[in-house]
């Protein structure tokens, strides 16, 4: 018996991963270096609308994600 799979799209490339996988698992299947960047905090995942999502999200079939650079907030120091 085979494990059910879902189809996820990351940066316009499709990948099939086992049902129950996380968004990060889908990224790792296509772009291992980007997955490492997400884990290190250098990169971030967004949904198809550009809204940030957590890497441990269990996406539904057909989800679309993009890997983007993590922008650090600049804090102004008051003196």
pLDDT at 67: 97
pLDDT at 3: 73
pLDDT at 23: 97
DSSP per residue over 14-79, as a string? EEEEETT--HHHHHHHH-HHHHHHHHHTSEEEEETTS-EE-TT--PPTT-EEEEEEPPPPPPPPP-
pLDDT at 72: 60
Q: Domain boundaries in the chain?
A: 5-62
Strand partners, 65: 10, 47
pLDDT at 58: 96
pLDDT at 74: 46
Q: Which residues of the chain have pLDDT under 70?
A: 1-2, 72-79
Under 8 Å between Cβ of 53 and 67: no
pTM, 2 dp: 0.84
Cα 39 from Cα 35, distance rounded (Å)? 6
């Amino acid at each position: 018996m085979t494990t059910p799979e879902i189809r996820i799209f990351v940066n316009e490339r499709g990948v099939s991963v086992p049902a129950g996988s996380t968004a990060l698992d889908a990224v790792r299947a296509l772009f291992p270096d980007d997955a490492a960047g997400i884990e290190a905090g250098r990169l971030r995942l967004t949904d198809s609308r550009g809204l940030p999502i957590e890497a441990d999200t269990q996406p539904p079939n057909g989800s679309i994600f993009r890997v983007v650079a993590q922008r650090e907030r600049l804090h102004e120091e008051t003196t």
